[in-house]
Amino acid sequence: MSMKRPHISDHKWEQVLKSMDRREFIVTSAAAGALTMVPRFAQAAVETYRLGLLLPVTGTGANYADGGIKAVMNATAAINAKGGFLGKHPIEVNYRDTHTKPDVAAREARDVISRENVQTIVGTYSSACAMAIQEIIHERKILHLAATSNSSKIVNENFTPYTYQFCPNSKMQSGSVVVAVAEMIKKNGWKTYVTIGQDYEWGRDTQKGFVEALARKSAGTKLKKELWFKLGETEFSSYISAIMASKPDFAYGAIAGKDNRTFIRQAQAMGLFKRVAYPGGLISVTEMQQQRKSLPRGMIGLARCPFFAHLDQPLMQKYIKMHRAKHDAYPTDWACMHYDAIYGLEQAINKTGNIGTEAVKAALKGATMDTCRGKATFRDCNNQLNIPAGYVGSVWDSPDYPFPIFNPDTMIIVKAEEVWTPTCDDVRKLQKKRA
Amino acid sequence: MVLLVVGFPLVPALPGMFWTEVATEILILGLFAMSFNLIYGYMGQISFGHAAFFGLGAYGTAILFRELSGGTGAITMGQFFVALSVGPPVAALGALVVGFFCVRLTGIYFAILTLAFGELLFYVVFSWYTFTGGDDGIQRLLPPPFFRDATAYYYLTLVIVFGAAAVMWRITRSPFGYVLRNMRENQLRTRFLGIDVRRYMLVNFVIAGAFAGMAGALWGPFTRSVGPLLLGWQESGIAVFMTLIGGAGYFAGPAIGSIIYTFLQAYVTGFTVYWPLTIGTVILLIVLFSPGGLLAVFDAKVGFRLGRTPIAPGETPNGEAETGAAVTAETKAGS
Amino acid sequence: MLLDPGVIFGQLLGGLSRAMILFLLSSGLSLTFGVMNILNFAHATLWLLGGYITFSIFSYFGEFLGENGWVLVLAIVLGTSIMVGVGYLIERFLIRRMYGRELPEQLLLTFALILIIGDLIKLVWGVEDRSIFLPIEPLEMLDTYVNPYYFVIVATGTAVAAGLWWFLQKTRYGMIVRAAVYSRDMVSALGIRIPLIYAGVFALGIGIAAFAAGVFLPLMPMALGVDIDLIIQCFAVVVIGGFGSILGTFVASVIVGVVYSFSILIWPDGALAVVFLIVIAVLIWRPWGLFGTELRY
């Protein structure tokens, strides 16, 4: 019964990653199956650092998660090339597919903790999944680095001192859109708007953040209608014509992933953007690359961690080089944020000089670190990194890349402090006590 | 059967918490699958909405849990058991309403109506943000300190699941259980015997729903959170898979199926992301080559007696292998 | 606002577009069940596979022929043909073994196919979404903009419906298929080779689905997991229309599409719930569906 399952250490990861893209699954799993039978004496000598990576490659989140998986593998491989954390603790990544389902995420979190003894979990994609695993990591005292899932509840309502947020949370993101939109409202005399969002945690939270922030900034602007669609919707025409039917001055979309692509495509073909402005929808580097032909030029979008905004940062330069060498492509927002998470962990470990979870947690607390997005500090009350809250820009054909980016001349980078929950007292009021 | 009863209490003796947690999952999902088999194996109808009752039980417990603990997760022992005990009645109530309509139909129509109700309930839970938490689900279902320990929670689950299984066993061996089997074989003939078929179906549907709710009630505090997907049709599919893998023709079939399914999942997901492909292939092979489930194979080939409790009435010593295959005969008998 | 002709027209067209995808997917499902008594859970997954294959053919030829509408037509023709072959093989080697087996086992087999095909897509195409881009210019009419491609879709869907109707009503093979919906035994007693009819119907159903995937490619990215959401809506359509009835499937698609579309305008949160309420009402009131035959029930 006590059979030992194979661990995926970094060289094996190459194969797993490949098999996720390509056809080497049979070979990989056969090899892995064979490994099960081999007792692992060799590993006893070194103390490895075990990392759990929870991201989906099944279901609707797979499209974004891909970048995060690649970045974690690249970053850990680079660290392992130097002998691992502190030069002596090689990192072993235990990857699990969350299927974008909270109960699967919770089970896999339990699995990597109880079976693989991971000390840190990186992930997940979906905010609902992140909240499900927060219950488990808090109880088991495991570090949790959130690098994609960004509902503000993760750091506010559902806060645990073990979670560190490397991604601007949804309230910060919509807050930064509001900064840009408020300008446009003034300029264009807009009065009414409509929202459309994905009916799940992130979509709801993002929309709410936008509506609340806009009410504070521009009280006269009226919300005419809220539309919600089920995750994975394929037919938006009814929603699009419902938006047009409301005749708003602009529409705000809280849409991510594959649905975002479908929505933009269908809205474009239905002429929504000719009639209604659509500022601030999520347009990350993933969208820019995958929809390089179809993305409407001049559309105002929001990115989370676009590489082209930080070309002056040495760490970003380093990562772009690494990513391009391995994958022959530019890193997506999701890749950059995951790289920051791993690199942030390394800096904390270097600072404290050991890999004990509580020590690393203490070192991360309020820490200032180098990231792809410049120097950033964790906020004391909720462990939110104060990286830029949002990048709002206009889709523009760049001579330097085979895909459009945001026009650097007009891109607005909003500081975290401008838009996050104003004071730590406010944050603490939101945070619910844990038993 | 004997092996199961002896083996399960010993699981926590294995090194590490992991196997204890897997075994807890096996027990809870096993109970869920066994409750499903009351409808499928005994009554001869396939429900694709059975997870709705699993989910209703889970949410019934979770919501009361949340209210009692004021959202912090701090709950006393007494409150914890009150919350747990609310799952089955909530699920049974749901099953009563859904079943009232569903028992009017049989075969594919029954399957699709249960599916439609399941999706409807999923949608209600998914949309009702203020009460169910919508897509977020409900977090902080932290059992009282004593049961936070994996081993303690495991034994709690063990006692409840084995108790529930014993009650179900008793039910299937009662005159009521034999009427169900009769209905499975031939509804029309059962009706001619003066038996109110619909009433029997409804009662059984509610009983199955209640046991699914019991499983659901245990699930929330085990995972520390619940989400609306617990009610979805894919979750229903898991009960169907487990039952089929183990053998619908046997009382212990779904439990065996749960052991195999959950164990395989824990093993396979450790090294490949292709779990769906793996389980899909297993199911395909079982459907094609051993339609009665694995217990039927044991029974026929080895004459193995483990868990051998064929549920068809008047079984003959050599007819057991076919029992599994014939278990859902006459789905269209009601026409 | 609700009575604005532009609004009604927009919602109607959106609803019809949804109706067409539902119809093209459900017609095969309905025929397969009506004739073969097999409910194919994997139908939408095969639709997805057809979409990925058509995408690959489109990109392959697009490289040197340019990515335009004609290449899409070519890709649809080839993709559909391949999927007809795939459908035939699945019937021949898997489904055929299931005739005479119990309904739950048939369901399980197709359920397993969802998992297997879904992962095979992941193996071959990876996790990235796939879609093609055709420059479509919106059309201004009735004080609103519409997507002209919807007219193509509605026309195509209606043409397929008409073609199927003609095939079933007017041709010899169609009559055999219809007869098989009522009584397989009788058809077989007339000396007609039932297995051939079955393989044909199954392949036809998959072919229509693959065709639909191709037609919708410019509007709908192919992505993992889409099939799971669609199949349940297709079941709803088939149940409402009645198993085996093409007319019923068509009417039910339009009902579901249009009801869904207007629900979004009036009660956006409840759009899907409304669809399931209709299904439940139909199943309780007349389980054989609006246009199905009571004989089969």
Q: For B145-168, what is the mean pLDDT?
A: 94
Looking at every residue in chain C, the average pLDDT score rounds to 86
Nearest Cβ partner for B112 among C108, C113, C235: C235
Is the pLDDT at B285 greater than 80? The verdict is yes
What percent of the residues of chain B are helix, what percent strand, and what percent coil, each to the nearest 5?
A: 75, 0, 25
pLDDT tens string A398-407: 999 999 999 9
Domains and CATH numbers, chain C: 5-296 (1.10.3470)
Does residue A23 sit at the C interface (CB-CB below 8 Å)? yes
Q: Is residue B93 part of a domain?
A: yes
Q: What is the pLDDT of residue B3?
A: 67
pLDDT band at C155 (very low <50, low <70, confident <90, very high): very high
Q: What is the mean pLDDT of residues A285-297?
A: 89
CA distance A240 to chain C (A): 8
pLDDT at B330 over 70: no
Q: Is the pLDDT of residue A8 over 60?
A: no
pLDDT of residue C232: 87
**A contact test, residue of B11, B127, B139, B147 with most A CBs within 10 A:** B139
Query: A276's torsion region: left (phi>0), alpha (psi -120 to 50) or beta?
Result: beta
Tell me which of A126-140, B255-269, C280-294 is least confident: C280-294
Q: Is A2 on the interface with C (CB under 8 A)?
A: no
Q: Which residues of C touch B124 (CB under 8 A)?
A: 273
* B317, burial (CB in 10 Å: exposed 0-12, middle 13-18, buried 19+): exposed
Decide yes or no: CATH 1.10.10.10 for domain A10-169+312-377: no
- A240 interface with C at CB cutoff 8 Å: yes
Residue for token pair 């889970």: B58
- For residues A282-299, average pLDDT: 90
Tokens read off for A79: 């660290």
Q: What is the DSSP string of A74-86?
A: HHHHHHHHTTSBT
pLDDT for the residue numbered A38: 38
Give me the pLDDT at residue C2, please. Answer: 54
C-alpha closest to that of C75 among C14, C132, C119: C132
- Tell me if chain A has a CB within 8 Å of the CB of B134: yes
Using the predicted structure, report yes or no on whether residue A171 has a pLDDT greater than 80.
yes
In A71-110, the residues whose Cβ lies within 8 Å of chain C are: 100
Mean pLDDT of C3-28: 84
pLDDT band for position C39 (50/70/90)?
confident
CA-closest candidate to residue A10, choices A85, A86, A61: A85
Q: How far apart are CA C115 and CA C127, in angstroms?
A: 15
pLDDT value, residue B215: 97
**How does the average pLDDT of chain B come out, rounded?**
85
pLDDT in tens, A320-333: 999 999 999 999 99
Average pLDDT of the segment spanning A263-284: 88
Q: What is the CATH number of the domain that holds B28?
A: 1.10.3470
B104-109 average pLDDT score: 86
Tell me the whole-structure pTM to 2 decimals: 0.88
Mean local confidence (pLDDT), C120-137: 85
B114 falls in which pLDDT band (50, 70, 90)? very high
pLDDT above 60: residue A265: yes
For C67-85, write each residue's pLDDT tens digit. 888 999 999 999 999 999 9
Instruction: Residue A83: count other Cβ atoms within 10 Å of its Cβ.
Output: 12
- pLDDT computed for residue A37 by the predictor: 39
Closest CB to B139: pick one of A1, A6, A158: A158
State what percent of residues in chain C have pLDDT above 90.
35
Q: What is the pLDDT of residue C297?
A: 52
Is A237 in contact with C18 (Cβ distance < 8 A)? Answer: yes
**What pLDDT score does A392 carry?**
94
CATH 3.40.47.10 fits A171-308+389-430, yes or no: no
List the single range of A182-191, B245-254, C142-151, C255-264 with lowest mean pLDDT.
C142-151
Query: Structure tokens of A421?
Result: 């929950």
Distance in angstroms (rounded) separating the CA atoms of residues A252 and C255: 30
Closest partner residue to B287 among C103, C109, C122, by Cβ? Answer: C109
Counted domains in chain B = 1
User: Is residue B323 in a domain?
Assistant: yes
Mean pLDDT of B124-141: 88
pLDDT at A44: 47
Q: How close C61 comes to chain B (CA, Å)?
A: 31
pLDDT in tens, A203-247: 888 999 999 999 998 888 999 989 988 877 888 888 888 898 888
Residues of A within 8 A of C224 (CB-CB) are 58-60, 62
Inside any domain, residue B61: yes
Could you list the residue range(s) of the whole structural domain that residue B31 is in? 2-328
- Of the pLDDT bands very low, low, confident and very high (cuts 50, 70, 90), residue C6 is confident
Chain B residues near residue C112 by CB distance under 8 angstroms = 279-281, 283-284, 287
Yes or no, beta carbons of A245 and C265 under 8 Å apart: yes
Sequence-ordered list of residues with C-beta below 8 angstroms from that of C41, at least 6 positions apart, any chain: C107, C110, C111, C113, C114, C231
Over its C-alpha atoms, chain B yields an Rg (Å, rounded) of 19
What three-state secondary structure class fits B269? coil
| Nearest Cβ partner for A269 among C6, C18, C147 | C147
Q: For residue range C163-199, list pLDDT tens digits in order.
A: 998 998 888 888 888 887 777 777 878 888 888 888 9
For residues C273 and B214, the model is more confident at: B214
DSSP string, A178-205: HHHHHHHHHHHT--EEEEEEESSHHHHH
Whether B121 maps to a domain, the answer reads: yes
Question: Given this model, what pLDDT does residue B324 score?
Answer: 36
Which backbone phi and psi does A225 adopt, to 5 degrees?
Answer: -160, 145
Q: For B134, name the nearest residue in chain C, comparing CA atoms only.
A: C269
- For residue C284, what pLDDT is reported? 86
What does the pLDDT read at residue A11? 44
Which one of B69, B140, B271 has the shortest CB-CB distance to A6?
A: B271
Q: Which helix (H) or strand (E) holds C73?
A: helix C69-93
Whether residue B334 is contained in a domain is answered as: no
CA dist., res. A8 & res. B36, Å (int): 37
- Note whether B142 contacts A: Cβ–Cβ < 8 A: yes
Residue B134 pLDDT grade (very low, low, confident, very high; cuts 50, 70, 90): confident
pLDDT of res. B292: 80
Mean pLDDT across C115-124: 92
Write down the pLDDT at residue C295.
56
Residue type, A14: E
pLDDT at residue C286 in the model: 85
- What pLDDT digit, counting tens, does each position of B189-240 carry? 888 888 888 899 999 999 999 999 999 999 999 999 999 999 998 899 999 9
**Residue B298 confidence (pLDDT) above 80:** no
> Which amino acid appears at position C197 of this protein?
I
